[in-house]
Chains A and B, each alone.
Chain A
């Protein structure tokens, strides 16, 4: 299901508001509660039974509803459509291009050796993405085959201190590309579920409000799907970004589960849309939206925590991840960049 648009969400919020207005008059308890609150705000000097009370003008029930209570509800709950509309972003579809770019880059680094059981992310399926041409990992083998017969001090340094480390570096680079894509996809999953949940909250609020002409209003439970959004990130980063995760585990003396938040307490129980009046039903809807907000925030924080640890690890391992300039064998070959011409005959710095 595509992410709901701002217009669709605003319409949903408007339907909630319209249903609230329509059903408040249908149940006497709801009408009484709305009138009480409206009187308290519109006639602050009206204190029934107390000296100095300024009584509101006498009106028929219908006049009172049309001229005072209904406008008060519409004004005080005008925030509902705006609130729903705010969940139109982020739209998970906007993530696809960025994830695809990262996956494309990753496939140029190293052949993917993942097994069928590790397909948390869609690109691990070899039928979906295949890297065109040879990866840089394959190209190291080609370079090796052409310098194999080169011997001497500079050659040994090139082989042992330079070329031999390429495989490890490329492995880290590959896993970092995967980690970027996997965490972005975990974020995508959060916002996808956020869209599902806000629609669920709106529709169920309307459903419960529609029962408000009964004496016994029927509440409805809501399970917020966002609470389990990044449960798979541990598996994803562990399988696709293994070397980086293991390095982070070693660097921080923690476990992979700690780093990706898999040990966090279980999410809070599902919430419920309920109440004995229409205004109470709206209050329970507000509570459900707050829980949704908190759930989104908590899930985002899990990804953030994993990324902070990985950033620290990358900072400390930078020399092993980046393929360096050929300083050692360069020196032994009695050469330096100032007298070596690069492509196009231009000297290096």
Chain B
């Protein structure tokens, strides 16, 4: 049976939490991974070598694999950036959906606002209605 009223409100609080906290948390993790890929932008310096090795041309150049390696690295970096952006959009969409539900169902909206009155709910609370007394854990990024 579809939920409505305060019961829906509490579930909306969960949905909002997913959209406002956890999907952005995933996005921030991808941003971190993207940053790690960015740290390899200087790999070309490490890989440059005498062009004497190989075809026997004077000067410096890169090993045969640098071009395709760089292409893959750039592709993966774009994938990570787009994924982060898309997860953020997904989170915002969930929050938007929560707001629409809450507007349509006043009781549910009231329950959700009550649930969020003290901030995000404590995920360890068995009833799922107790606000967190401490801030949500930050993403554990170095």
The answer to whether A342 and B43 touch across the interface, beta carbons within 8 angstroms, is no
- Contact flag A146-B96 (CB < 8 Å), given A133-B141, A173-B79, A337-B89: no
Complex Cα–Cα for A58 and B125 (A): 106
Among B3, B39, B86, which residue has its beta carbon within 8 angstroms of that of A324? Answer: B86
The number of chain B residues touching the other chain, given as a range, is 35 or more
Complex Cα–Cα for A315 and B74 (A): 12
> For B26, what are the chain A residues with a Cβ–Cβ distance below 8 Å?
136, 139-140, 143
Interface residues of B in 34-93 (CB under 8 A from A): 34-37, 39-40, 42-43, 45-50, 52-56, 60, 63-65, 67-69, 71-73, 75-76, 79-80, 82-83, 85-90, 92-93
A132 within 8 A of B: yes
- Contact flag A325-B86 (CB < 8 Å), given A101-B39, A104-B36, A304-B67: yes
> For B87, what are the chain A residues with a Cβ–Cβ distance below 8 Å?
323
State how many angstroms separate the Cβ of B68 from the closest Cβ of chain A: 4
State how many angstroms separate the Cβ of A130 from the closest Cβ of chain B: 12
A308 within 8 A of B: yes
The answer to whether B54 and A176 touch across the interface, beta carbons within 8 angstroms, is no
Complex Cα–Cα for A311 and B22 (A): 32
The answer to whether B46 and A95 touch across the interface, beta carbons within 8 angstroms, is yes
> For A337, what are the chain B residues with a Cβ–Cβ distance below 8 Å?
89
The answer to whether A300 and B142 touch across the interface, beta carbons within 8 angstroms, is no
Complex Cα–Cα for A133 and B32 (A): 12
The answer to whether A146 and B71 touch across the interface, beta carbons within 8 angstroms, is no
Q: Scan B8-30; emit 1 where CB is below 8 A from any A CB, else 0.
A: 00010011011000111110011
Interface residues of B in 68-122 (CB under 8 A from A): 68-69, 71-73, 75-76, 79-80, 82-83, 85-90, 92-94, 96-97, 100
The answer to whether A147 and B29 touch across the interface, beta carbons within 8 angstroms, is no
B132 within 8 A of A: no
Q: Which stretch (A30-38, A40-48, A180-188, A273-281) binds chain B?
A: A180-188
The answer to whether B89 and A348 touch across the interface, beta carbons within 8 angstroms, is yes
- Contact flag A184-B43 (CB < 8 Å), given A90-B49, A297-B64, A325-B86: yes
- Contact flag A333-B97 (CB < 8 Å), given A86-B50, A194-B53: yes
The answer to whether A108 and B32 touch across the interface, beta carbons within 8 angstroms, is yes
The answer to whether B18 and A147 touch across the interface, beta carbons within 8 angstroms, is yes
The answer to whether B64 and A301 touch across the interface, beta carbons within 8 angstroms, is yes
State how many angstroms separate the Cβ of B101 from the closest Cβ of chain A: 9
The answer to whether B90 and A325 touch across the interface, beta carbons within 8 angstroms, is yes
State how many angstroms separate the Cβ of A340 from the closest Cβ of chain B: 5
- Contact flag A342-B97 (CB < 8 Å), given A94-B45, A142-B22, A297-B54: no
State how many angstroms separate the Cβ of B44 from the closest Cβ of chain A: 10
- Contact flag A133-B86 (CB < 8 Å), given A101-B39, A321-B79, A329-B93: no
- Contact flag A105-B92 (CB < 8 Å), given A89-B48, A187-B63, A323-B83: no
Among B50, B67, B93, which residue has its beta carbon within 8 angstroms of that of A333? Answer: B93
> For A348, what are the chain B residues with a Cβ–Cβ distance below 8 Å?
89, 92
A7 within 8 A of B: no
Which residue on chain B has the smallest CB distance to residue A334? B100
A162 within 8 A of B: yes
Interface residues of A in 99-130 (CB under 8 A from B): 101-102, 104-106, 108-109
> For A334, what are the chain B residues with a Cβ–Cβ distance below 8 Å?
100
Which residue on chain A has the smallest CB distance to residue B11? A149
Complex Cα–Cα for A140 and B15 (A): 14
Q: Scan A137-166; emit 1 where CB is below 8 A from any B CB, else 0.
A: 001101100110111101000100010000
The answer to whether B2 and A151 touch across the interface, beta carbons within 8 angstroms, is yes
The answer to whether B45 and A310 touch across the interface, beta carbons within 8 angstroms, is no
Interface residues of A (CB under 8 A from B): 83, 86-87, 89-91, 94-95, 97-98, 101-102, 104-106, 108-109, 132-136, 139-140, 142-143, 146-147, 149-152, 154, 158, 162, 169, 173, 176-177, 179-180, 183-184, 187, 190-191, 194, 292-293, 296-297, 300-301, 303-304, 307-308, 310-311, 314-315, 318, 321-326, 329-330, 333-335, 337, 339-343, 348
Q: Can you list 21 A-B contacts (CB < 8 A)?
A: A89-B48, A89-B50, A89-B60, A98-B46, A136-B30, A149-B3, A158-B94, A169-B83, A173-B80, A176-B72, A179-B72, A180-B40, A296-B53, A297-B54, A300-B63, A307-B71, A308-B68, A314-B72, A323-B87, A333-B93, A335-B100
Q: Which 5 A-B pairs have the closest CB atoms?
A: A133-B140, A105-B36, A307-B68, A94-B46, A86-B50
